[in-house]
Structure 1
């Protein structure tokens, strides 16, 4: 059975790109547009093996999303990768 990845990012372009790559590699992918949507998708999924999350998102940002996931015993051990397309000027 394919591993299941939850992608949480407010950028549709980033979600679609990451989903395309992961699906091509044989993963099952669920996408969410922000932290609140991510929690809803996580709670309704049978099992999630990895979460890829942006940091800056509307409604619920990535840090709050990650904190909420980590506070719940059922989800606290899911690996989380933080992915951001935001740059910083030097």
Structure 2
């Protein structure tokens, strides 16, 4: 059962933990829902859009070390975006 929010010693509102959940876990769960949702959405759509930046590199050919590093950096960024955006809209 959940109890209503109460004031703690410093006069700020503290949500009480629910069913064996500590206050820290409760706050983390609330923050994870509000902060992680847009981050996951951004990761998902970044992972969708980044491959289009590979097309010009692959079409013109990767000749120099700078182009190789750009390609590898884009590939690494795409992998990070896939990892972050994977949970987006999974129910």
Shared topology, TM-score over 0.5? no
Larger helix proportion, structure 1 or 2?
Answer: 2
Larger strand proportion, structure 1 or 2?
Answer: 1
* Interval containing the TM-score (normalised by the shorter chain): under 0.3
Question: Structure 2 length as normaliser, TM-score?
Answer: 0.23
Question: Structure 1 length as normaliser, TM-score?
Answer: 0.23
Q: Which of structures 1 and 2 has the bigger CA Rg?
A: 2
